Structure 1
């Protein structure tokens, strides 16, 4: 079968690899000159199989109001006359209940745990290196209120059989020795030991090279104009450089996916939520994290990537804008310097990307009402985490096989 994949970020490239393994003739189309040059380029670097939660949670509306007035706010809202933004925010608020949170988190953990298995498979099959570490995520609590609130996550982790450990100050320092310098600033933490870290850009490029060696064709610098439909089924892809005949099309365009499929009557509730990162060279290993420390106060992840520290986070709801605000850089610098002082933040590389978020936190993976048109998008902050699992699911669906995990509640039909 001829399969065209739209988008060459982490989701598109992992999908290409799995579809090529399944025996399909795969073409990847992207407007950029190479893989992972947009949202996958400099994300936080955490592969969070256990630290995996929907943003829509009980108490979030109240917290959001407080965050909007914080100097170093984890949430930035720039409202505008945008029906898609308003609709997405209302749907997200509807998911901020205990019942919805439990359903959504369990669904996300199911996919994330599958991604843990499939990522290990890809590593074994390819032998690629990407500054990977397997030392877990430490969610760091600065207040007792934060520690108490983690009980709902602990309950969900236990219910799904995901390993975890609730830590006191000494336990946090045992896991991350560099925190000994600031032990007075924390009350405890939640460790998910099966979590990993790694450079998503390096991984995506290395896997793209493996996929190309398997016969996958990459069309760089091609602007996608439309998906061609004939007789109610996919027939190809129309680009600014010509048409590509296709039996199936996988839309993996992240935040831009809704814009492409809207004309087909597919109301895809994916909206861009901008995140920022700062990549800093390590000058003193005794003041650097071993893995990922998630600063719960500022919702910022501080991750070790080889000889660098990647500081990433925040959620800015401002539409399809990708400017670099100096205030956002100051927030990243404040979080990392407060926990790991002494780094040369002035030398850090500042970046922003548009995360494709769904209102319930779960990505949208599966068929549409158009034969041959598939979606693999809406992963939000967890595209790197869920990529290999999502790719295996979509490859099975395109191939007419039943996925190894329950994927019935992952498709866009759940929003019908």
Structure 2
């Protein structure tokens, strides 16, 4: 069966690999010049490349627009009724998917020779609220049963792994630690997987922008593309996998497929490190302050980068950006006193669209030959292999190996 994968990010590339392994002819379409461009750090558009990212607006008669709107609205109601997975704790699903992805990535490396690269120092979750840490300890057995590889740490154990935390000993009540997997640093993994796809016969149509998915008789009939010269191209397959991230949404909505999203704002603070010997070696996540703190290397020297994500609506109604940034700096200085130069901090912010339950959208739609494998606004390399392997099995009519909230037809 010919399967057209729309999007050559990590989700699209892993989908293509596992689809090809199941015997399909696979074509992957992407607007970038290189597959997995973002993961490989080469996503910048080249001069002359097509830059359209959404379907162009088309004019027509008012009656035609009304009829089309009614059809899409009715289809969306059907999709909501039959496509919504059972309500269970989304965190359980994410833990299972991450565990399955790690297992799949390791098997892929062992069986197909995808390089894993050097392992990172890991990720440590810091708890300064005793009640929150007690809750985490109470859930330890449950999460371990789902495949979570985090270890619970006492204050002394946490400081033993990351000595810089000694400065906040009086505030720290406990921590968890996980050795991060190679797939969390996706560049080398992505390059190896793209090589394997090409070697196996997967065809990549780069510098091609998805303009529209055309429905006929209750199925996707073809896809309209723009090539790098702006020419319209028609592409047909027996099945289609929509893996365009946030860009999947307008195409899905045009077909009456519900993809509920909400917006979040990411705040990023970068500060020069005063003393490299005092800076954290392990990536840190402050559970109570909702910060992620990482040490990065730049041409100007080592720096501390702090990320915070808040619901966009809540933030707009509360404090302005300047207050939010200063709160992040104060919290970081409280956790890691004397590590970074706050007077030279730089600030940035970005908006992201994420699914309302923070779960990737994987599975079937109301159209029998259209499938979803998309995760708007998330760090998709964490679950790329698990999602790609699962959607390949679903497209092939096989039962997924993973217990997950897959979308149903």
Same fold (TM over 0.5): yes
Distance (Å, rounded) in 2 between the aligned partners of 1:222 and 1:177: 49
1:67-86 alignment runs, 5 A limit = none
1:4 Cα offset (Å) = 1.7
1:219-368 alignment runs, 5 A limit = 219-241=205-227, 242-277=233-268, 286-303=277-294, 311-317=306-312, 338-340=334-336, 341-343=338-340, 352=350, 354=352, 356-359=354-357, 361-368=358-365
Partner secondary structure for residue 185 of structure 1: coil
1:11-22 alignment runs, 5 A limit = 11-22=11-22
1:146 Cα offset (Å) = 3.0
CA contact (8 A) 1:255 1:272 kept: no
CA contact (8 A) 1:366 1:411 kept: yes
Query: Which of the numbers 127, 132, 141 marks the counterpart of 2:114?
Result: 127
Distance (Å, rounded) in 2 between the aligned partners of 1:289 and 1:111: 28
Residue 113 of structure 1 aligns with which residue? 99
Say which one has the larger Rg: 2
1:216 Cα offset (Å) = 2.6
Distance (Å, rounded) in 2 between the aligned partners of 1:401 and 1:211: 21
Deviation digits for residues 352-401 of structure 1, max 9, x if unmatched?
46353232x33221111212100012365452211110010011112222
Distance (Å, rounded) in 2 between the aligned partners of 1:129 and 1:166: 26
Distance (Å, rounded) in 1 between the aligned partners of 2:17 and 2:348: 30
CA contact (8 A) 1:251 1:374 kept: yes
Query: Which of the numbers 401, 404, 408 marks the counterpart of 1:404?
Result: 401
1:204 Cα offset (Å) = 3.1
Distance (Å, rounded) in 1 between the aligned partners of 2:185 and 2:326: 23
CA contact (8 A) 1:130 1:200 kept: no
The runs of 5 or more residues in structure 2 that have no matched partner are 43-79, 81-85, 228-232, 315-320
Of 384-393 and 29-38, deviating more is: 29-38
Distance (Å, rounded) in 2 between the aligned partners of 1:119 and 1:282: 34
Distance (Å, rounded) in 2 between the aligned partners of 1:327 and 1:226: 42
Distance (Å, rounded) in 1 between the aligned partners of 2:273 and 2:184: 16
Residue 64 of structure 2 aligns with which residue? none
Q: How many residues align?
A: 349
Distance (Å, rounded) in 2 between the aligned partners of 1:37 and 1:314: 24
Mark the CA change 1:303 to 1:204 in structure 2 (over 3 Å): closer, same or farther.
Answer: farther
Distance (Å, rounded) in 1 between the aligned partners of 2:244 and 2:366: 19
Distance (Å, rounded) in 1 between the aligned partners of 2:155 and 2:286: 14
CA contact (8 A) 2:116 2:182 kept: no
Distance (Å, rounded) in 2 between the aligned partners of 1:343 and 1:210: 42
With normalisation by structure 1, the TM-score equals 0.70
Distance (Å, rounded) in 2 between the aligned partners of 1:215 and 1:348: 46
Distance (Å, rounded) in 1 between the aligned partners of 2:191 and 2:162: 30
Matched, 1:191 2:188: no
Partner secondary structure for residue 371 of structure 1: coil
Distance (Å, rounded) in 2 between the aligned partners of 1:366 and 1:139: 31
Partner secondary structure for residue 164 of structure 2: helix
Residue 216 of structure 1 aligns with which residue? 202
What CA RMSD, in Å, does the superposition of the two structures yield over aligned residues? 3.8
With normalisation by structure 2, the TM-score equals 0.71
Residue 394 of structure 1 aligns with which residue? 391
Partner secondary structure for residue 383 of structure 2: helix
CA contact (8 A) 1:197 1:305 kept: no
Residue 79 of structure 1 aligns with which residue? none
Mark the CA change 1:183 to 1:278 in structure 2 (over 3 Å): closer, same or farther.
Answer: same
Matched, 1:369 2:374: no
Mark the CA change 1:273 to 1:402 in structure 2 (over 3 Å): closer, same or farther.
Answer: same
Deviation digits for residues 269-297 of structure 1, max 9, x if unmatched?
23443435567887855334343321112
Distance (Å, rounded) in 2 between the aligned partners of 1:10 and 1:403: 19
Residue 5 of structure 2 aligns with which residue? 5
Partner secondary structure for residue 288 of structure 2: coil
Distance (Å, rounded) in 1 between the aligned partners of 2:260 and 2:308: 22
Of 176-185 and 239-248, deviating more is: 176-185
CA contact (8 A) 1:329 1:350 kept: no
